[in-house]
Amino acid sequence: MKSFVRDLARDDILRQYRYLLSEQESPSTAERFLQSIQKSMRQIRRNPGIGSPRFLSNPKLAGLRSWAVEDFPSIRIYYLVSENAIRIVRVLHGKRDISPLLEIDPDNI
């Protein structure tokens, strides 16, 4: 199954990568994060129903699921599944209030 990563999700990944580089001062942790993102996305592509369902009021987000990034359990991948594709909507820390963040740019979901 194909997957598409929205621009906002790419920005989320880059933001977390930069944070790990600067705050943790650990290039190896930052690189491991990128590898874990790729591995977690492969898991989602192999088994799209693997994530926990999320229920939001926006009908464009009906069917939204989340899956924890391997080795970084507080970071979650939020995605939608259609018949032939997976759309990665955002990649966010699980303790954040995700509803307003997911509502940003809802027309591009």
Percentage above 70 pLDDT, the chain: 92
Task: Check residue 49 and give its pLDDT.
Answer: 92
- In tens, the pLDDT along 14-29 reads 999 999 988 766 788 9
Domains of the chain: which residue ranges?
Answer: 2-108
Class of domain 2-108: alpha beta
Strand order in the sheet with 72-81: 2-5, 85-93, 72-81, 65-69, 52-53
Of 70, 61, 67, nearest to 92 by C-alpha is: 67
